[in-house]
Amino acid sequence: HLDRIGEVDREVHAFLTLNGEDALAAARQVDSALAAGQAPASPIAGVPLALKDVMATRDLVTTCGSKTLENWVPPYDATVTRKLREAGVPILGKTNMDEFAMGSSTENSAFGPTRNPWDHTRIPGGSGGGSSASLAAFEAPLAIGTDTGGSIRQPGAVTGTVGVKPTYGGVSRYGLVAFSSSLDQAGPCARTVLDAALLHEVIAGYDPLDSTSIDAPVPPVLAAAREGLNGDLKGIKVGVVREFSGDGYQAGVQRSFEAAVGQLRALGAEVVEVSCPNFVYALPAYYLIAPSEASSNLARFDAMRYGLRVSDDGSHSAEEVMSLTREAGFGPEVKRRIMLGTYALSSGYYDAYYGSAQKVRTLITRDFEAAFEKVDVLVSPTTPTTAFKIGERVDDPMAMYLADLCTIPSNLAGNAAMSVPSGLSDEDGLPVGLQIMAPALADDRLYRVGAAYE
Ligand code: GLN
């Protein structure tokens, strides 16, 4: 994999930092343990992985795609990082991402965009474009992403790979640099559903270091993936979300989705149409809640405690240093979110914006609850379009935000959701993703249906 990275990554730019020596040392350790007759630390011991650069790694820079953290080496490992190391998984390097995970194309990275391996003129999705591109380019067989509004699933869809957002609280957020704490969730990225399940079981589980971590057994995702591979979905009820079709959905995406639904039926699933009327308000609610939490979380980058510090020559006050550093360190999208969030949280506007958005969030959760009384899983296209051209949406934040139309409801409700490859669009020949959504703590249903479908 390191050789492959050497061949293609100058062009793809999936990685920000490489960790070759350390990865080889970890692999050798697995080899010697096996040679000494010891059992492997996990089923994926020795299988290398690409880690999104939002996950803290001791002794390895963690930039979050930002100038602010360009040289920051965390003094500790994230829980996900620690679990990977303990499982004998060699970490190949840290992957490119939109700055602080804000974006849908990886173009908001301070270190230049990642290219989609299927077509180098197109985006690989975002914010975790580097992780998904590394899989599609065969630079890594496994990767870690984080999904606040779709950043695992949307890059998975547009690169023809698998991406899973586990139930909120299913994977520890300790050491995941916070964007929107009530929505952020780390999860597995892979080329097959079975591979994702193997990785899921390694990273999931209760963590006392994360106050929102769920103290319950990890859903049996590996067993469910294995069961799904039998290709039998008899007894499973699938709901097609009526609201996720029509205007704004490419014809090629729509046709791929209809074919996917037909295939689920052919595998024995019972398919019904379901209405979730409040899902159309998910995007505006998200773009109040996520920036509000971000404006608070990003206050820690104050030029004093860690990270970038400019104009520190004694001629400026501490306050000037803070403001000059934030001006220099944050890109335009991050500044936009901080301003939106600060405005939405300000007194006099709090109830009208943040308060209303939280109410919408409750209504969306209720839509899911009503739907899951009737069906086991819901399905939709993962994204309304295939990969767009690099540069096409950079000057139009609203167009960029639309990429997450179908993925955001699961974040707002804290549910589990997956994107699984659904073939190529007959319009442009680019990958399309099928989204499968399940109730909280029923992540195993995603794997059962996803493995049967893929
Ligand atoms: N694209 C969405 C945003 O810009 C989601 C990002 C994410 O899931 N991290 O906020």
Q: Is residue 265 located within the same domain as residue 304? A: no
Instruction: Report pLDDT for 306.
Output: 87
**418 neighbors 435 (Cβ within 8 angstroms):** yes
Element (H, E) at 187: strand 186-190
Backbone φ and ψ of 352, nearest 5°: -65, -40
Instruction: Report pLDDT for 175.
Output: 98
Q: Please give the structure tokens belonging to residue 267.
A: 């595998």
Instruction: Report pLDDT for 168.
Output: 98
For residue 301, give its domain range.
Answer: 283-356
Q: What is the mean pLDDT of the segment spanning 179-184?
A: 98
CATH number, domain of 129, equals 3.90.1300.10
Domain boundary among 308, 336, 356: 356
Instruction: Report pLDDT for 176.
Output: 98
Element (H, E) at 422: strand 416-424
Mean pLDDT over the full length of the chain: 97
Tell me, what's the ipTM?
Answer: 0.97
Instruction: Report pLDDT for 135.
Output: 99
Catalytic residue among 104, 109, 131, 151: 151
Q: Is residue 231 located within the same domain as residue 296? A: no
Separation of alpha carbons 341 and 354, rounded Å = 9
Q: Is residue 211 located within the same domain as residue 265? A: yes
Instruction: Report pLDDT for 236.
Output: 98
3-state secondary structure of 346: coil
Instruction: Report pLDDT for 312.
Output: 86
Burial class (CB in 10 A: 0-12, 13-18, 19+), 288: buried
Query: Is residue 345 over pLDDT 90?
Result: yes
Contacts by residues 25-32 (CB-CB < 8 Å, ≥ 24 positions apart):
26/85, 26/88, 26/89, 26/90, 26/91, 27/90, 29/88, 30/88, 30/90
Separation of alpha carbons 189 and 191, rounded Å = 7
Amino acid at 102: M
Distance 356 CA to ligand 1 centre (A): 20
pTM, rounded to two decimals = 0.98
Q: Is residue 336 located within the same domain as residue 366? A: no
Separation of alpha carbons 94 and 85, rounded Å = 14
Q: Is residue 20 located within the same domain as residue 127? A: yes
Query: Is residue 447 over pLDDT 90?
Result: yes
DSSP 281: G
Catalytic residue among 66, 104, 127, 292: 127
Q: Is residue 117 located within the same domain as residue 220? A: yes
Q: What is the mean pLDDT of the segment spanning 1-14?
A: 98
CA torsion angle for 127, 131, 133, 139 (degrees, to 10)? 160
Instruction: Report pLDDT for 100.
Output: 98
Distance 329 CA to ligand 1 centre (A): 20
**108 neighbors 99 (Cβ within 8 angstroms):** yes
Question: How does residue 21 score in pLDDT terms, banded at 50, 70 and 90?
Answer: very high
**pLDDT tens sequence across 45-61:** 999 999 999 999 999 99
Q: Is residue 420 located within the same domain as residue 272? A: yes
Distance 407 CA to ligand 1 centre (A): 10
Lowest mean pLDDT among 80-94, 307-321, 363-377: 307-321
Domain boundary among 356, 387, 421: 356
Q: What is the mean pLDDT of the segment spanning 173-183?
A: 98
Separation of alpha carbons 451 and 304, rounded Å = 48
Lowest mean pLDDT among 54-58, 394-398, 437-441: 394-398
Spell out where 119-167 has E strands: 142-146, 162-165
Site of tokens 């040392």: 25
Half-sphere exposure of 297 (CA within 13 A, CB side): 19
**pLDDT tens sequence across 109-153:** 999 999 999 999 999 999 999 999 999 999 999 999 999 999 999
Question: How does residue 225 score in pLDDT terms, banded at 50, 70 and 90?
Answer: very high
Site of tokens 């939280």: 358
Q: Please give the structure tokens belonging to residue 55.
A: 């996950």
Q: Is residue 109 located within the same domain as residue 67? A: yes
Separation of alpha carbons 425 and 434, rounded Å = 12
Atom of ligand 1 nearest to the CA of 101: 9
**154 neighbors 169 (Cβ within 8 angstroms):** no
**Percent of the chain at pLDDT above 70?**
100
Domain boundary among 332, 356, 380: 356
Query: Is residue 72 over pLDDT 90?
Result: yes
- Residue 181's CB: how many other CB atoms inside 10 A? 16
- Residue 77's CB: how many other CB atoms inside 10 A? 20
Q: Is residue 241 located within the same domain as residue 347? A: no
151 is catalytic: yes
DSSP 403: G
**pLDDT tens sequence across 287-342:** 999 999 999 999 999 999 889 999 889 999 999 999 999 999 999 999 999 999 99
Residue 185 CB partners (closer than 8 Å, separation 6+): 146, 147, 148, 165, 166, 167, 168, 169, 170, 171, 173, 411
Question: How does residue 450 score in pLDDT terms, banded at 50, 70 and 90?
Answer: very high
Q: Is residue 235 located within the same domain as residue 310? A: no
Site of tokens 């990685």: 15
User: Cα(first)–Cα(last) distance of the chain, in Å?
Assistant: 24
DSSP 206-234: --TTSTT---SPPP-HHHHHHHHTT---T
Ligand 1: residues within 6 Å at CB?
A: 101-104, 127, 147-151, 179, 290, 404
Atom of ligand 1 nearest to the CA of 102: 4
Question: Using CA positions, which residue lies closest to atom 4 of ligand 1?
Answer: 103
Q: Is residue 366 located within the same domain as residue 352? A: no
Distance 383 CA to ligand 1 centre (A): 13
Backbone φ and ψ of 380, nearest 5°: -165, 170
Distance 128 CA to ligand 1 centre (A): 9
Q: Please give the structure tokens belonging to residue 237.
A: 């009820």
256 is catalytic: no
Q: Is residue 332 located within the same domain as residue 363? A: no
DSSP 389: B
If one residue of 148, 398, 401, 405 were mutated to test the ligand 1 pocket, choosing by the most ligand atoms within 8 A of its CB, it would be 148
Domain count, the chain: 2
Spell out where 228-284 has E strands: 237-241, 270-274
